[in-house]
């Protein structure tokens, strides 16, 4: 069921990306030609969740089929329970629930187990159940809402650590996820090193632009910065 993928993410990578907003990431990825990286329907379940970074551990549901989507399936070797036991510490669980909003994919017990395994967060285009208990686990969650019925009321769990579509975005195991108040954004694994350079620089530039705006500067030629303002910025930053 699982593939041999290095799910470790260097702490320095987490440190850098935790200082970069998902809005900035989408802008940079857009410039790289990637328009579809924001996972639709992934809203923070509560305010004040920190910006989190981790490699994607993927799970996939398909539409419910009556002979498969049963409470008995929870004890199957192919189950959400088995998938959770395969999650490495530091990963972000990314769940393709096909946008279904009337069947909660995970509840408090499953989320509590994820916390014990050191999972960083749960991201899904679906919903969770037992919301009070889920909140009580302190597992950071981004989802489309809550619903009382269990997953088997509308979904069949079929696989983990395979390519999925979550919120309309193709997610491969090992891709990097950054999630904050604006939702969750995917960084393709192959672009990670480049983003570690481009993203902090974009944040520094935008901080400088904001300083200029607060000082009364007009936006044309400033945002985006023209050659003159880029030269001013680089001079102030001590660049050659």
pLDDT in tens, 15-59: 999 999 999 999 999 999 999 999 999 999 999 999 999 999 999
Q: What is the pTM of this model?
A: 0.93
Backbone φ, ψ for residue 7 (5° rounding): -95, 0
In contact, 15 and 138? CB cutoff 8 Å: no
- Within 10 angstroms of residue 170's Cβ, the number of other Cβ atoms is 13
Q: Which tens digits make up the pLDDT trace of 95-121?
A: 999 999 999 999 999 999 999 999 999
Mapped onto helix, strand or coil, the DSSP state of residue 156 is strand
User: What DSSP designation does 104 have?
Assistant: B
Supply the pLDDT for residue 78.
94
How confident is the model over 169-197, as a mean pLDDT? 97
Predicted pLDDT at 1 = 43
Q: Which residues contact 115 (CB under 8 A, 6 or more apart)?
A: 137, 138, 139
In the prediction, which pLDDT does 4 show?
63
Q: Helix/strand/coil (H, E, C) string of 186-235?
A: EECHHHHHHHHHHHHHHHHHHHHHHHHHHCCCCCCCCCCCCHHHHHHHHH
The rounded percent of the chain whose pLDDT value lies above 70 is 98
CATH class (in words) of the domain with range 11-190: alpha beta
The vertex-64 CA angle with 63 and 70, nearest 5°, equals 155
Count of residues in the chain: 240
**Residue-wise burial string across 70-96, b where 16 or more C-beta atoms lie within 10 A, e elsewhere:** eeebeeeeeebbebbeebeebbbbbbb
Q: What are the residue ranges spanned by the domains of the chain?
A: 11-190, 194-236
């Amino acid at each position: 069921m699982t593939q041999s993928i290095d799910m470790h993410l260097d702490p320095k990578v987490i440190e850098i990306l935790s200082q970069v907003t998902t809005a900035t990431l989408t802008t940079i990825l857009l410039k790289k030609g990637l328009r579809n990286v924001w996972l639709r329907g992934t809203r923070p379940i509560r305010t004040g969740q920190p910006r989190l970074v981790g490699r994607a551990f993927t799970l996939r549901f398909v539409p419910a089929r009556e002979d498969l989507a049963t409470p008995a399936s929870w004890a199957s070797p192919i189950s959400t329970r088995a998938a959770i036991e395969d999650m490495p510490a530091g990963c972000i669980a990314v769940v393709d629930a096909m946008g279904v909003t009337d069947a909660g994919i995970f509840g408090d017990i499953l989320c509590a187990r994820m916390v014990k395994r050191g999972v960083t967060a749960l991201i899904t285009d679906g919903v969770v159940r037992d919301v009070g208990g889920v909140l009580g686990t302190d597992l950071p969650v981004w989802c489309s809402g809550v619903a009382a019925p269990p997953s088997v009321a509308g979904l069949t769990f079929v696989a983990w650590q395979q390519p999925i579509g979550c919120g309309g975005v193709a997610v491969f195991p090992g891709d990097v996820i950054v999630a904050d108040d604006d939702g969750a954004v995917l960084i393709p694994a192959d672009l990670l090193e480049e983003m570690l350079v481009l993203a902090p620089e974009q944040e520094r530039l935008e901080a400088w632009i904001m300083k200029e705006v607060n000082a009364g500067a007009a936006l044309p030629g400033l945002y985006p910065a023209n050659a003159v303002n880029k030269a001013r910025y680089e001079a102030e930053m001590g660049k050659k």
